Amino acid sequence: MKMIRKILILWAAMLLMASAAMGSETVEWEVLNTLKLNAPPLDVAISPDGKTVFVLTHKGNIQIYETNGRLTDKIEVGEKIDQIKLGPKGTHLFATSRQNQTVKVIALDFIKQISTNGSPYKGRADAPVVIADFSDFE
């Protein structure tokens, strides 16, 4: 009987050491930012690169935010839209309406304004069209 007890104690100790050696898994997390919305959110989608957040509101529009919280634009889609999904490349947004049984496919083009002040140029400084050429010779 004493031998069985010793074996059980030894087995329990080995089990504890084995579980400690395997370690326990924890999740480290932190809130990076909180977006202050103009209307209650109905659904949210995020771009594949994680830099843009799309928020569908009850007012029938999709608000477009940078992850730093800056509202950059909005898309009016109508109040019957109840869900949004972003395409895998981030170039299409799908807005669905269960009530209307429809899906709106919205093409997205992100246009970034670039300041050319102080940059070298050819032609008139006040030209109606500016072509900016970015190159890397390495």
pLDDT tens over the chain, length 138 residues: 666 776 767 776 676 666 665 666 788 888 888 888 877 899 999 999 999 999 999 889 999 999 888 999 999 999 999 999 999 999 999 999 999 999 999 999 988 777 777 888 888 878 888 787 778 777
Sign of CA dihedral 58, 61, 66, 71: negative
How far is 121 from 132, CA to CA, in rounded Å?
A: 9
- What's the chain's Rg over C-alpha atoms? 28
Question: Which of 63, 137, 134, 67 has the alpha carbon at shortest distance from 93?
Answer: 63
What is the model's pLDDT at position 26?
A: 85
End-to-end alpha carbon distance in the chain: 78
What is the model's pLDDT at position 82?
A: 94
What is the model's pLDDT at position 134?
A: 75
What is the model's pLDDT at position 116?
A: 72
Residues 6+ apart with CB under 8 A from 86: 45, 46, 47, 48, 54, 92, 93, 94
